[in-house]
């Protein structure tokens, strides 16, 4: 029986995209293949987290001073290993490593890309069966091919990203990645072990009904942020409401939902965390890139996220991200020079 419709796997899709670029080397598709492979391995472990002894806290502290869960370590090792043993990445930085790692073998040194990732975001949700995810970001290195990568390769503003993406390990497992050409989503078909194109050319609706924020922190937010949030709670139909509040506590799932349905996600600065909680390089930049390519906007409340020049690898930033109309409506969503 003939199959009625061509189903593109992640590999087929990235290779087909290459044909639009006669000078492309295929390195980016190689890198995405390595990421997809690591994601499949992590997916298997995340799915059996409730069964295996792997569930629970490893008891160590990461560089952010937070407790590390065992699955964080597993995911970190899988992504590090897949990229190190591949030939498409010259070095990595991860939320779980203190410093970047330069791959010194000849093939890796010849690669033009570096990768930053948060191997398992939202890991406090693992114990309670809530979706978690991986976030990644790809840059062209600044140092010459053949050399060992250096700190500056990892401290580029988000606007220089070549690609960014995330994986949600949820009711189904989906890998979404963006290049400047568009955002596409691939759902893992467990029967064949392949990511298959399921969400082509994702666009973030300009207007949405959802806002996502940790309300428990409300009295720790700046007044203008509180006023911004109150608007969503007290609105009338004339103001475009009513709005719905949704906050899982896994930004990968929260932003994935808002990207598809339309909405705004916020993690503002608080009195106890004046720089915000989320990491500019591992969390804010990749999502800002994806959401902007999909037609949305992302700021830190004053400035476009993608224009911020990072001063250090593990820098934090407030984040406001989502549908363009919702972001533009309030000054927090616009770019304000200070």
Which chain residues interact with ligand AHM by CB under 6 A?
66, 118, 121-123, 214, 249-251, 267, 277
Give the list of residues 6+ apart from residue 191 with CB closer than 8 angstroms, or none.
Answer: none
Tell me the C-alpha distance between 227 and 52, whole Å.
45
Compute the least distance from the CB of residue 283 to Mg ion, in Å. 5
C-beta closer to Mg ion: residue 121 or 153: 121
C-beta closer to Mg ion: residue 182 or 249: 249
Compute the least distance from the CB of residue 139 to ligand AHM, in Å. 20
State the residue for tokens 């370590």: 73
Q: How many other CB atoms are there within 10 angstroms of residue 99's CB atom?
A: 12
Three-state secondary structure along 118-177? Answer: EEEECHHHHHHCCCEEEEEEEEECCCCCCCCCCHHHHCCCHHHEEEEEEEEECCCEEEEE
Residue 92 is classified by DSSP as E
Compute the least distance from the CB of residue 10 to ligand AHM, in Å. 24
C-beta closer to ligand AHM: residue 29 or 43: 43
Binding site for Mg ion (CB under 5 A): 118, 121
C-beta closer to ligand AHM: residue 218 or 302: 218
Compute the least distance from the CB of residue 257 to ligand AHM, in Å. 12
C-beta closer to ligand AHM: residue 109 or 277: 277
Compute the least distance from the CB of residue 245 to ligand AHM, in Å. 13
Half-sphere exposure of 93 (CA within 13 A, CB side): 28
CB-CB contact of 183 with 176 (8 Å): yes
Given ligand AHM, Mg ion, none, residue 154, with its beta carbon under 5 to 8 Å by kind, binds none
C-beta closer to Mg ion: residue 203 or 314: 314
Given Mg ion, ligand AHM, none, residue 251, with its beta carbon under 5 to 8 Å by kind, binds ligand AHM
Compute the least distance from the CB of residue 250 to ligand AHM, in Å. 5
Burial class of residue 311, CB neighbours in 10 A (0-12, 13-18, 19+) = exposed
Given ligand AHM, Mg ion, none, residue 201, with its beta carbon under 5 to 8 Å by kind, binds none
Given Mg ion, ligand AHM, none, residue 170, with its beta carbon under 5 to 8 Å by kind, binds none
Given Mg ion, ligand AHM, none, residue 123, with its beta carbon under 5 to 8 Å by kind, binds ligand AHM
**Alpha-carbon distances, residue 174 vs 24, 62, 119, 193, 204 (angstroms):** 26, 27, 15, 12, 17
């Amino acid at each position: 029986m003939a199959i009625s419709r061509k189903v593109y796997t992640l590999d087929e899709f990235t290779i087909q995209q290459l044909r639009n670029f006669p000078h492309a080397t295929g390195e980016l598709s190689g890198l995405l293949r390595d990421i997809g492979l690591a994601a499949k391995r992590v997916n298997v472990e995340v799915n059996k987290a409730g069964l295996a002894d792997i569930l629970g806290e490893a008891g160590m502290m990461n560089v952010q001073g937070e407790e590390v869960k065992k699955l964080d370590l597993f995911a970190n090792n899988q992504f590090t290993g897949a990229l190190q043993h591949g030939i498409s990445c010259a070095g990595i930085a991860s939320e779980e490593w203190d410093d970047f790692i330069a791959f010194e073998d000849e093939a890796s040194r010849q690669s033009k890309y570096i990768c930053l990732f948060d191997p398992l975001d939202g890991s406090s949700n693992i114990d309670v069966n809530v979706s978690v995810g991986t976030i990644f970001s790809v840059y062209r290195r600044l140092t010459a091919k053949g050399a060992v990568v250096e700190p500056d390769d990892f401290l580029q503003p988000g606007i220089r990203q070549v690609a960014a993406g995330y994986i949600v390990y949820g009711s189904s497992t989906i890998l979404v990645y963006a290049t400047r050409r568009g955002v596409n989503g691939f759902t893992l078909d467990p029967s064949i072990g392949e990511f298959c194109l399921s969400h082509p050319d994702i666009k973030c609706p300009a207007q949405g009904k959802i806002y996502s924020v940790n309300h428990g922190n409300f009295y720790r937010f700046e007044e203008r942020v509180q006023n911004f949030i109150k608007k969503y709670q007290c609105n009338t139909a004339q103001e475009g409401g009513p709005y719905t509040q949704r906050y899982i506590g896994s930004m990968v799932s929260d932003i994935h939902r808002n990207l598809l349905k339309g909405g705004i996600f916020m993690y503002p600065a608080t009195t106890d965390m004046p720089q915000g909680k989320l990491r500019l390089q591992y969390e804010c930049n990749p999502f800002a890139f994806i959401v902007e390519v999909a037609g949305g906007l992302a700021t830190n409340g004053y400035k476009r996220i993608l224009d911020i020049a990072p001063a250090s690898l593990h820098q934090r930033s407030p984040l406001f991200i989502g549908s363009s109309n919702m972001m533009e409506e309030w000054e927090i969503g616009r770019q304000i020079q200070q």
